Structure 1
Amino acid sequence: MARLSPPRPLDGTDDREAFDCGRDSMNQWFRRNAWRNQQLGISRTTVLCDTETGAIVGYVTLSTGQIEREFLPKAAQRNTPDTVPIFLLGQLAVDRRFQRTGVARSLLFYALKTSVLVSRQVGCFGVLTHPLDEEVRGFYRRFGFEDLPGDPKRSMIVRIKDLERNGFAAN
């Protein structure tokens, strides 16, 4: 089993071409867009690497956004503005060689903890993601994400206050 580096920002010299999570759309996005989006300030990609080989083991991407109040669960709509600020967990992928080893969980925990820490300085309702399929939806559901009713993109969200209640606010 590989020894993993601590999470760190994607670097322009990282070998993105060798990464293969088994989903062509995510591999291509990572190869073509991750570094460019980072340079433009559109999103931030964080990677975990194998400390022996330097290979990228997995990545997660965060950015900010907003959703319409009408897409929130009914209980969360009361006394909220028409648009609600969110963090967008846009991409989370693990290289095939490291899948089912806890890397996805580690990357998700990193993204959630980062979101909670930033929300202390910048108001935010929750973390939103767009799962690709039912297996991925199940993964997010295990960590408190809920379906957004009526959202045509079938997004899922977890509220910042729920993350804090579950220990993601710890230093």
Structure 2
Amino acid sequence: MAIVFEALGKHHDRSRFSCGQADLDGWFRRRAGQDDRRDVARVFVATDSELGVVGFYSLSAFKLELGELPEEIARKLPRYESGYPAALIGRLARDVRMRGKGFGEVLAVDAIRRILGAAETLAVLAIIVDAKDERAAAFYEGLGFVPFPRRPNRMFLLASSALRGLEKM
């Protein structure tokens, strides 16, 4: 099994993909391409030569407000009214055929690497995710994401922490 990560294209057959969550499957099949073309999100897929699309994630720019951050981080930042730059992993899913193989982590690491690559040119303070449920929150916590104080389903990982984590891999 050789997995290739690439930008979503018209040639990718999305009809066979199923992560087991109707809202994510529906978005991927019907709206992912539109969101990408409209510059709302960049969508990346993981493909296998035999299985086709086995995972995807979307990336978008995001703005953090100072009041959203934990005090120990906020007090170290300058006070900018315009907010702080971040990147959002908006949707991330792996096909049910990949269940139990640690593939969700592979997808997340690819997304984080892509964000950190962009961060060499464009400032990114943090990487943001919205956990759909407790299971997703536990998954992201295992990768080092921390809940926002006022919105526990929204989680963040400082880009500097992500970089240190990847350097250890």
TM-score norm. by structure 2 comes to 0.92
Structure 2: state its 5+ residue gaps: none
Q: Which letter does structure 1 place at the counterpart of 2:11?
A: T
Residues of 2 paired with 1:94 and 1:10: CA distance?
Answer: 15
User: SS of the residue aligned with 2:149?
Assistant: coil
Alpha-carbon displacement from aligned partner over 1:32-73 (angstroms, at most 9, x marks no partner): 1111111112111111112124x2101011111112111111
Question: What is the aligned partner in structure 1 of residue 41 from structure 2?
Answer: 43
The alignment partner of 1:32 has SS state of: helix
Tell me the residue number matched to 1:23: 21
Aligned counterpart, 2:8 = 10
Deviation at 1:92, TM superposition (A): 0.5
Find the aligned partners of 2:63 and 2:168 in 1 and give their Cα distance. Answer: 22
1:23 Cα offset (Å): 0.3
For residues 131 and 168 of structure 1, what CA distance do their matches in structure 2 show? 25
Maintained 8 Å contact 1:85/1:124: yes
**Identical-residue share of aligned pairs (%):** 25
Runs of 4+ deviating beyond 4 Å: none
TM-score normalised by the chain length of structure 1: 0.91
- Is 1:59 aligned to 2:56, yes or no? yes
CA distance in structure 1 between the partners assigned to 2:102 and 2:47 by the alignment: 14
| Matched residue type, 1:56 | V
Give 1:169 shift. 9.6
Q: CA RMSD in A?
A: 1.7
Partner of 1:163: 162
Q: Say how many residue pairs are matched.
A: 166
List alignment gaps of at least 5 residues for structure 1: none
Deviations 1:52-105 (A, max 9, x none): 24x210101111111211111111112242411110000110111111212211
Change (3 A) 1:129 1:168: farther
